[in-house]
Chains A and B, each alone.
With several copies, the nearest count.
Chain A
Amino acid sequence: MSNLEDLYREVILDHYRSPRNRGELETPPAHRVEGFNPLCGDEVTAYLLVDDGVLTDIKMTGHGCSISQSSSSLMSAAVKGKPIEQVRALITTFKKLMTVHESSIESTDSAPLQDVRSLGELAALQGVVKFPVRIKCATLAWNTLNQGLDELDATP
């Protein structure tokens, strides 16, 4: 059962049971964005408050499996209070982590691993790549956040 422990790390179960930054923000001033995975029915809604280029607050609601919901919680903790630029960079790093092939995670000197180290608690999600069908669960919140930031960019 070692595989399964890779997927369901303690950090993930903890965020699943006690999600951080759960709730809503008033819109406006916050921006609301919804993400949906039609295949499994997982849903994530993000409320984003951006002030002067900084994501000053974020709240998440939604329902779905432990992976999609813990990823949503872990993400919110990681990006809250960060400048948008850093948030975008984190999204890119995370999505790269999710496309990395299993073998390169296990070798020690690869570039992706550098990225993983920089991810802190988020790195707990790296076991997901061993379960390709669950990658969509892990990236749902991130794609939703990304879309929200795009929408904010597009509005003057």
Chain B
Amino acid sequence: MATGQSVTSFDPRLVRADTPALARIINGRPITYLDSAASSLPPRPVIDAMSRHYERQHANVHRGVYQTANESTQSYEGAREAIARFIHAPDGAEEIVFTKNATESFNLLAKSWGAKNLGVGDVVLLSVMEHHANIVPWFQLRDAVGIEVRFIPVGDDYRLDLSNIEELMKGVRLVSVTAMSNVLGTVTPLQELARIAHEHGALIAVDAAQLVGHAPSNVVDLDVDFFMFSAHKMLGPTGLGVLWTRRDILAEMPPFLGGGGMIADVSTSGYVPAKGPTRFEAGTPPIAEAAGLSAAVTFLEGLGMQNIAQHDRDLTRDALARIDDEFGGRVRIIGPRDTEQRGGVISMDVEGVHAHDVAQVLDQFGVCVRPGHHCAKPLMKRFNLTATARASFGPYSLVSDTDVLIEALNDAVKLFG
């Protein structure tokens, strides 16, 4: 049996062998998991890291003196270091805040940094292709303090339309955009956006949820100011998210949730918040999950993020071409057709067949695709859609997954004639 640690050069079949959930049989056929954009399937070393935590050393972190409390604390703080290394945080672990998911990271950004620094007349610039996680917290902030929320339009080529960006930048204090659309697969020009933001004296926040598991992430090269993502989309567990920001910005951010662990002092008349990332980590953190995330980072590093990105590109190029060949216009791809600046997410609109029905038929073949608005309703509206059927790849995906997808799509198209 292959184990994660042993995968040194990238081979998706080895990753597959290490991913227990892919051994599942659905409706008499091996599962064809094409929903990694919603959540990835953790490999054996990630699952084992968490079991091992509970089996050998579980204890609450911080303040403990006994051995397993130290081990748990070291494991938890070690995950912070692993993530800092993974995204190349310039000042290391001191810049990594653990949250429960990318969504909480955005709420933390909006309700701590945003509420302190933004007010009436200030603009936060999003894009029409954002996930609700990067939209709703800003509307909440608007309703609380009166900021304006503005959107970069998306062109017919399914890419950001920056033709009017100078106009759009008026009054903007923060640009907050996705690194990659979870619906279109579009990769956004982050370096360009960072340059524009900084030229206008604004900061830039990045929704890296779809990026971190699929391509190298380097916050210094990108020159961005905030970077948010979830563990469960990078082969890690549920229940854990990350916010990275520069140490100097973090130091000035007021507390978010209040409770144990985030304080320096509490009396019956008030409290003094702690310094550093723990200021934002109230209560018992996701300890076992952090052990899982460390293992996921090690696993991904072993595969090589460049290799994973290339693998995604290869699979996507192949799938786009074959869907076209097979179905002509009947299966419309909602997303860019070239594979440069594009990830392994394929949204489909099947003529005459609603996305739910597509997904239902595909399920009969053990094919897992996600129907719906993918938490991106403004984007769906932009293209006059209510739902797409979305297939997305992971490092364990193979061309044979696309074979089954196409076989099953054929059945759906036939059934609805």
CB <8 Å contact, B360 and A7: yes
Give a binary string over A63-86; 1 marks a CB under 8 Å from any B CB, 0 the rest.
111110100000000000000000
A134 at the interface (CB under 8 A from B): yes
The residues of B that contact A8 with a CB separation of less than 8 Å are 357, 415
A40 touching B357 in the complex, CB below 8 Å, given contacts A3-B364, A66-B416: no
B373 at the interface (CB under 8 A from A): yes
Per a CB cutoff under 8 Å, which of B62, B70, B354 touches A39?
B62
CB <8 Å contact, B70 and A40: no
B120 at the interface (CB under 8 A from A): no
CB <8 Å contact, B356 and A65: yes
The CA of A13 and the CA of B411, in the complex, are separated in Å by 14
A133 at the interface (CB under 8 A from B): yes
CB <8 Å contact, B70 and A65: no
CB <8 Å contact, B356 and A36: no
Give a binary string over B342-370; 1 marks a CB under 8 Å from any A CB, 0 the rest.
00000000001111110011001000000
A66 touching B364 in the complex, CB below 8 Å, given contacts A38-B264, A40-B372, A40-B387: no
The CA of A64 and the CA of B360, in the complex, are separated in Å by 14
Per a CB cutoff under 8 Å, which of A4, A38, A63 touches B263?
A38
B274 at the interface (CB under 8 A from A): yes
A39 touching B357 in the complex, CB below 8 Å, given contacts A66-B416, A133-B70: no
A41 at the interface (CB under 8 A from B): yes
* Count of B interface residues, CB-CB < 8 Å: 29
B65 at the interface (CB under 8 A from A): yes
CB <8 Å contact, A131 and B372: no
The CA of A14 and the CA of B357, in the complex, are separated in Å by 15
The CA of A67 and the CA of B371, in the complex, are separated in Å by 14
CB <8 Å contact, A4 and B364: yes
CB <8 Å contact, B364 and A38: no
A132 at the interface (CB under 8 A from B): yes
B56 at the interface (CB under 8 A from A): no
B187 to chain A, nearest CB (A): 26
CB <8 Å contact, A1 and B364: yes
The residues of B that contact A17 with a CB separation of less than 8 Å are 352, 417
Question: In chain B, residues 368-405, which have Cβ atoms closer than 8 Å to a Cβ of chain A?
Answer: 371-373, 386-387
Per a CB cutoff under 8 Å, which of A3, A13, A64, A132 touches B416?
A13
A123 to chain B, nearest CB (A): 20
CB <8 Å contact, A41 and B373: yes
Give a binary string over A46-72; 1 marks a CB under 8 Å from any B CB, 0 the rest.
000000000000000001111101000
CB <8 Å contact, B63 and A40: yes
Per a CB cutoff under 8 Å, which of A1, A3, A39, A64 touches B63?
A39
The CA of A133 and the CA of B63, in the complex, are separated in Å by 9
A145 at the interface (CB under 8 A from B): no
The CA of A40 and the CA of B62, in the complex, are separated in Å by 9
Per a CB cutoff under 8 Å, which of A4, A38, A65, A133 touches B354?
A65
CB <8 Å contact, B354 and A64: yes
The residues of B that contact A66 with a CB separation of less than 8 Å are 353-354, 357, 416
Interface residues of A (CB under 8 A from B): 1, 3-4, 7-8, 13, 16-17, 36, 38-43, 63-67, 69, 131-134, 137
* Other 12 A-B pairs with CB < 8 A, given A7-B360, A13-B415, A39-B62: A1-B364, A1-B411, A4-B361, A8-B357, A40-B371, A42-B356, A63-B386, A65-B354, A65-B357, A66-B354, A67-B357, A133-B73
What are 24 A-B pairs with beta-carbon distances under 8 A? A1-B411, A3-B27, A4-B364, A4-B415, A13-B415, A13-B417, A17-B352, A39-B62, A39-B63, A39-B372, A40-B356, A40-B372, A41-B386, A42-B356, A43-B386, A64-B356, A64-B386, A66-B353, A67-B356, A67-B357, A133-B70, A133-B73, A134-B360, A137-B356
